[in-house]
Amino acid sequence: MDESPWQGFLVAESDCFVVLHRVGDRFDLDGYCAFRRIDIVSIAESFEKQDLIQRALRLNGQDPMIPKRIDCTSTRSLMESAQEEFGVLVIEREKVQPDEVQVGTIRMTSEDTYVLRWLSVNAEWENDDRPFRYKDITKLEFGAGYEQTLLAVARSRERDG
């Protein structure tokens, strides 16, 4: 599991998940990160760079925002609602594949599994027929600049044919 601290603003929560509007390395708001509640070790309301982050966000005119239609009551509902609003997901299954991150969209689902349409680092779509289990997901990210740019490039390629 990723042991590094995440900084952000709590924007949604359920018995299953906590969703943060994430603060990026450039001290700006860069997408959302959802953690399983059972994996959270500690939460600090104050921390070393708090004043720096708050001032940087204020100077850049950024305020944390609650995603409009995020449903974090289950892994499946979170994935589907985040994909509907942001178009692409970053999926981590750290306990079963600690060195693998999936970027893509859900193209098929069942009660317990999903199948992805991968989005490569070159912004190209690749279908995969392997089913993955919802219960293996440890973290979801969505709405950040990197994957939104990949999605925009992939969609522009689809339009241009």
* Calpha distance 93→61 (Å, rounded): 34
* Calpha distance 91→100 (Å, rounded): 9
pLDDT in tens, 49-64: 888 888 999 999 999 9
β-strand partners of 104: 89, 118
Q: What are the structural domain ranges in the chain? A: 8-160
Angle CA 146–78–156, to nearest 5: 35
The residue with tokens 């999903």 is: 114
pLDDT at 3: 55
Query: What mean pLDDT comes out for the span 71-93?
Result: 96
pLDDT at 112: 95
pLDDT in tens, 109-153: 999 999 999 999 999 999 988 999 999 999 999 999 999 999 999
With a pLDDT cut of 70, the percent of the chain lying above it is 97
Residue 1: pLDDT above 70? no
Check if the beta carbon of residue 28 is closer than 8 Å to that of residue 60: yes
β-strand partners of 34: 19, 140
* Calpha distance 26→56 (Å, rounded): 9
* Calpha distance 23→51 (Å, rounded): 13
Alpha-carbon separation of residue 48 from 19, 40, 58, 102, 154 (angstroms): 22, 20, 18, 32, 39
